[in-house]
Amino acid sequence: MQDTDEALSGHDTSQAVMMEEACLCLDEHDAVIGTSSKLDTHLGDGIRHRAFSVLIYDSKGRLLVQQRSSEKITFPAVWANSCCSHPLDIDGENGDPIEGVKEAARRKLDQELGIPRSVTDNWVFNHIGRFEYKCRWDEEWVEHEIDHVMIVKADCEVDFNRNEIQAIDWLDNAGLKGMMARQGRWKSQLIAPWFEAIVEHFLNGGDADIDAVINDACTDIIRCGELSVAHPSDSAANVLAALGQHRDIVENVIQDNLGKIQQARLRGAMSHLFTGGGKRLRAIMPRMVGDAVGNGHEGHYTLGACIEIIHNFTLVHDDIMDQDPIRRGLDAVHIAYDDATAINAGDAMLALGFEMLADSEHIEDSQLRHVVSTIGEMVRRVAEGQQEDFEFEDRDSVSEDEYIAMIAGKTSAMFETCAETGAILAGADADTVANMARWGLNLGLCFQIMDDYIDMVSDTETLGKPAGSDIVQGKRTLIAIHALESGAELPTFRKLFGTETDPDSELETAVAELKANGSIQYALDRAMDHHAIAHDCLDSLEQTPAVDLLRDMTDFQLVRIN
Q: For 57-72, what is each residue's pLDDT tens digit?
A: 999 999 999 999 877 8
pLDDT at residue 19 tops 90: no
| pLDDT band with cut points at 50, 70 and 90 for residue 149 | very high
Q: Return d(Cα 275, Cα 307) in angstroms, integer.
A: 17
Query: Which one is predicted more confidently, 434 or 506?
Result: 434
| pLDDT band with cut points at 50, 70 and 90 for residue 475 | confident
pLDDT at residue 559 tops 70: no
Query: Which one is predicted more confidently, 232 or 525?
Result: 525
Smallest CA-to-CA distance from 423 within 433, 434, 413 is with: 433
Smallest CA-to-CA distance from 165 within 64, 67, 65 is with: 67
End-to-end C-alpha distance for the chain, whole angstroms: 38
Among 249-253, 499-503, 520-524, which is the least confidently predicted range?
A: 499-503
pLDDT at residue 4 tops 60: no
Q: For 373-392, what is each residue's pLDDT tens digit?
A: 999 999 999 999 999 988 98
Q: Return d(Cα 184, Cα 199) in angstroms, integer.
A: 18
Mean pLDDT, the chain, rounded, equals 90
Query: Which one is predicted more confidently, 263 or 137?
Result: 263
pLDDT at residue 338 tops 60: yes
Q: Return d(Cα 4, Cα 230) in angstroms, integer.
A: 28
Angle formed by the axes of helices 400-410 and 430-457, to 10°? 110
The pLDDT value recorded for residue 135 is: 94
Task: Compute the average pLDDT of residues 297-306.
Answer: 96
Task: Compute the average pLDDT of residues 168-195.
Answer: 89
Q: What angle do CA 386, 387, 393 make, to 5 degrees?
A: 95
Q: Which amino acid is at 556?
A: F
The pLDDT value recorded for residue 561 is: 36
pLDDT at residue 17 tops 80: no
4-227 classified as CATH 3.90.79.10: yes
The pLDDT value recorded for residue 236 is: 77
Q: What are the C-alpha distances in Å from 399 to residues 148, 331, 486, 513?
A: 47, 34, 12, 21
Query: Do the Cβ atoms of 373 and 357 come closer than 8 Å?
Result: no
pLDDT at residue 562 tops 50: no
CATH code: domain 235-556 is: 1.10.600.10
Q: What are phi and psi of 348, to 5 degrees?
A: -70, -35
pLDDT at residue 138 tops 80: yes
Per-range mean pLDDT, top range of 231-245, 434-448, 493-507: 434-448
Query: Do the Cβ atoms of 160 and 168 come closer than 8 Å?
Result: yes
Smallest CA-to-CA distance from 20 within 10, 5, 31, 1 is with: 5
User: Strand, coil or helix: what is 147?
Assistant: strand
The pLDDT value recorded for residue 464 is: 54
| pLDDT band with cut points at 50, 70 and 90 for residue 15 | low
- The domain spans of the chain are 4-227, 235-556
| pLDDT band with cut points at 50, 70 and 90 for residue 393 | confident
Percent of the chain's residues with pLDDT above 70:
94
| pLDDT band with cut points at 50, 70 and 90 for residue 368 | very high
| pLDDT band with cut points at 50, 70 and 90 for residue 56 | very high
**Checking phi first, is residue 501 left (phi over 0); if not, alpha (psi -120 to 50) or beta?**
beta
